[in-house]
């Protein structure tokens, strides 16, 4: 699977309704705070992100919520795919473990299921499922790019 295949699978994701996008947007700051607390409580956090990267992880969570809000307001399979690939590359280059992504996405899903309306959760969950099932591909493509000659790594 390559970038184009990822885009094709992302094209199957449905546009989130205005109502659910608005609900997510109105709650995103609180959701990020919950996410940070949940991740900071993990005993394996430093193994996943490194001792000097906890603040970077928190920035990632805030950026993640803002970015997904924009995608929920205007679904763009290409922008979604390219941004997730960029994030995997950028954070891998800062020594984030590949296990961080599964832990992060699982935590977001747990929080959303509890904190958002069932309708909103049902609309945004497919995006998180898409990211989860494609973690191996994102990891592989990020590694290929970072290991390529003349990479920005």
pLDDT classification of 151: cutoffs 50, 70, 90: very low
CATH architecture observed for domain 3-10+17-147: Orthogonal Bundle (1.10)
Using 50, 70 and 90 to split pLDDT, how confident is the model at 98? confident
Angle at 33 between CA 25 and CA 62, to 5 degrees: 60
Q: For helices 135-147 and 77-93, what crossing angle results, to 10°?
A: 60
Record the pTM.
0.91
**Boundaries of every domain in the chain:** 3-10+17-147
Report how far Cα 93 is from the mean position of its chain's Cα atoms.
Answer: 17
Dump pLDDT digits (tens) for 15-28.
999 999 999 999 99
C-beta of residue 53 within 8 angstroms of C-beta of residue 44: no
């Amino acid at each position: 699977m390559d970038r184009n295949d990822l885009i094709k699978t992302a094209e199957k994701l449905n546009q989130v309704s205005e109502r659910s996008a608005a609900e997510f947007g109105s709650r995103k700051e609180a959701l990020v705070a919950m996410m940070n607390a949940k991740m900071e409580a993990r005993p394996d956090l430093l193994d996943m992100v490194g001792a000097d990267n906890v603040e970077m992880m928190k920035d990632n969570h805030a950026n993640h919520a803002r970015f997904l809000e924009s995608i929920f307001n205007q679904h763009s399979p290409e922008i979604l795919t390219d941004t997730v690939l960029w994030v995997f590359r950028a954070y891998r280059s800062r020594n984030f473990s590949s296990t961080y992504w599964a832990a992060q996405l699982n935590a977001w899903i747990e929080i959303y299921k509890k904190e958002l309306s069932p309708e909103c959760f049902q609309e945004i969950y497919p995006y998180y499922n898409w990211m989860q099932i494609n973690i191996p591909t994102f990891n592989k493509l990020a590694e290929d790019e970072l290991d390529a000659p003349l990479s920005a790594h």
